[in-house]
Homo-oligomer: A and B are copies of this chain.
Amino acid sequence: MTHASRLSALRHSMGEHHLDAFIIPHDDEHLGEYIPAYAERLHWISGFTGSAGVAVVLADTAALFVDGRYTVQVRQQCDDRLFEYHHLVTEPYLDWLLSQLGANAKVGFDPKLHSQRWYQNALAKLAEQKVVLQPVADNLIDLHWHDRPQPQSHSAFLLSQDYSGQHSEAKRNRLAADLQAEQIDAQLLTQAEPINWLLNIRGRDIPCLPVVLSFALLHQDASVQLFADPAKFSELDLAAHSGHNVTLWPLEHLAGELVTLGKQGARVQLDPSTANAWCALTLSEAGAELVYADDPCMLPKACKNPVEVNGSRAAHLRDGIAMCRFFAWLDRRLTQPQPELEDEGSLADKLTQFRAEHPEFIEPSFSTISALGPNAAMCHYNHLNTTPRSLGQDGVYLVDSGGQYLDGTTDITRTLAVGQVDAEVSKLFTLVLRGHIDLAMARFPAGTGGLQLDALARMPLWQQGYNFDHGTGHGVGHYLSVHEGPQRISPKGSMVALTTGMIVSNEPGYYREGGFGIRCENLQVVTPAAVNGDIPVFEFETLTLVPFDHHLIATEWLEPKHIDWLNHYHNQVWEKISPHLKGEDLAWLEQATRPL
């Protein structure tokens, strides 16, 4: 089927449902960052492969809304005779819809693919112009998507307490006590990561994100109803591991159980920004009292226990060995004949090979960003979407990658000199590195949010009139998503306090469009600092163990304290990584970690 005929089929169904418009978001019913292949409805209707976007289809017109990352890509992938292109942020699609529709028009949407908060806001906004927002029970795309992929049915598995550090029962009891205190009968959980964390389970339903896609109800008595494909649990006896108050239910039973809760008049808590509107509508129409609150798993999940932190240290040692071997190999490869035979794709593959030599490595934690020269100026560049660029033309190479290990998740960016580099690039690299170090050296009292620390990483750039247009740091899961909240270090960031055990990235950068890109990223964990003042303060322990490239450092842009930090860090890298390297790799590490 062409995209034109897919659009025709959809419009035919819209006519049958008396709909003047239909909204197709990128999301699936869990509203997480990553979605499985069977949920790629936006791709099916439009051809667009980006990770965020919305299509809006009307009888005579259709439009695609994507953000700044994808304005070029959408033009390459989608037919402009079928779709207008708009900016997701600056041209909100509901505004565009209202400009196209008159009073009493009907806008269809699949309530499983939108959050309850979106639904409430959209309903109010459209109602102002008497436009009706109409939930559609069966997604109109699915009616026509005949070769739709089947959901994965990889086996779920238990994450041993040697890795999780805490039995599911302890986690459930703690959350249930809060539900009791707030007189909540049940907590609806709809995102994969909190559910997998709560039950100490993992799966392979999505590349890079080791989860079982599922829904769950946590009751006041600490029992859990898990709604998932039972086929995934043929090898895992959930009750035997988690206790008999954890029961497995086929996904199809979710609606019925929500209605049962509703009929009991239960007070059910859910997070309106992550729970889909279908769940909320099902509950409230059956009579439940909805209580809106942040997902209560998020904060305890973010605060890693000592076993998880130790696991992360072990994962980072392994990951550092692989990264150092890759950089040592690359250093040699640059001096061997025909380096131009290597390109961004072969480099990324080589790096994955080095990681995969460790038996504990499971998969990358996200698609490697392997970017040479001007490609590095695109923060979300992916060489798989284009012709990979070859070595030999550019000064700098930026590689942002990570691994999933049973004991932790890694995420590291290094920028390397792979050719001639001028003084401006070195200056900017050093300003970025200086900001990274200033943040890494921060200490702060209880209650400090990432928003308060973000400027530390930017100030060296700000002093010279530069900046970067992304956050400085995100939370990182424990053998879970490489992006997690609620903490965040960002100018738009949260005031959630940074607390012991939280793992965050520290990744300032600088991007010159059409020129080059720079990013320096380590992961660091919040720990108590040893000080003798009036109050306890926290500091960051750096987990990542890979040298920063000496060739790019212009020491005149550093103060003595930054050089001290770098020398101390490189000494630590040497001490921990060198016992695992030999020969040319060891020689490379020795020079890469020498004091400045």
Contact = CB atoms under 8 A, between A and B. Distances in A.
Interface in A448-472: 448, 451-456, 459, 461-467
Interface in A559-593: 559-561
A533 B443 contact: no
Given A452-B451, A455-B452, A466 B534 contact: yes
Given A452-B452, A452-B491, A454-B452, A467 B534 contact: yes
A442 interface: yes
Q: How many copies does the complex hold?
A: 2
A533 B465 contact: yes
Contacts of A453: 455
A143 interface: no
A466 B465 CA distance: 32
B535 A465 contact: yes
A537 interface: yes
Interface string A420-453: 0000000000000000000000111101100111
Interface in A289-321: none
A466 B559 contact: no
A341 interface: no
Interface string A501-532: 00000000000000000000000000001011
Nearest to A531: B465
B559 A465 contact: no
A447 B534 CA distance: 34
A427 to B, nearest CB: 11
Nearest to A512: B534
Contacts of A444: 455, 462
A250 interface: no
Contacts of A537: 462-463, 465
A256 interface: no
Contact of A462 (B443, B467, B561): B443
Interface of A: 442-445, 447-448, 451-456, 459, 461-467, 491, 529, 531-537, 559-561
12 contacts: A442-B455, A443-B459, A443-B465, A444-B462, A451-B451, A461-B533, A463-B531, A465-B532, A465-B533, A465-B534, A465-B537, A466-B535
